Chains A and B, each alone.
Chain A
Amino acid sequence: MFGRNKLSPYVTENLSEDLIRLENLVKIYDTGAIKVLGLKKINLTIQRGEFVAIMGHSGSGKSTLMNILGCLDRPTLGHYYLDGIDTASLSSNELSAVRNLKIGFVFQSFNLISRTSALKNVELPMTYARISKRKRSERAMELLECVGLGKRAYHMPNELSGGQRQRVAIARALANEPPLILADEPTGNLDTAASIEIMEIFSELHKAGATVVVVTHEENIAAFTHRIIRFSDGQIVSDERNPNPTPGSGDVHTKGLYKNRATGAQRGQSKELEQAKDAGKGDNVC
Chain B
Amino acid sequence: MAVSLFARLKLRVLRNGFRGKPARVVMFVLSLFFGVWFGGGGCLALIASMQPAYPELTALVPAFAGALLVLGWLFGPLLWFGVDETLTPAKFALLPIPRRTLIGGLLTAALIGVPVAATLLATAGLVVGTAIGYGVLPALVSALGVVVGLLMCVALSRSVTSAFANLLGSRRVRDLAAIGLALLAALLGPAQIFGISALSRADFSRLERFADILGWTPLAAPWSASVSAAHGDYLAAIGKIGIGAVTTALLLWWWSATIERAMLGATDASGPRRAAGSAAPVARLFGRLRWIPATAEGTMVVREARYWWRDTRRRANLITFAVLGVFLPVLVNLGSSPAGLVGDDADFQALPDNPAIHTATMVFVGVLGAIAMANQFGFDGTAYALHLATGVPGRREVRSRIIGYSVYIVPLIVVISILVTVLAGKPSEVPARIGTLLGAYGVSLAACVLVSVYGAYALPETSNPFAVNTGGGLAKSLLALVAMIGSVALSSPLILAAALTGKLWTWLALPVGLAYGLGAVWLGVTIGGDAVDRRGPELLVAVTPRG
Partners in one complex: no
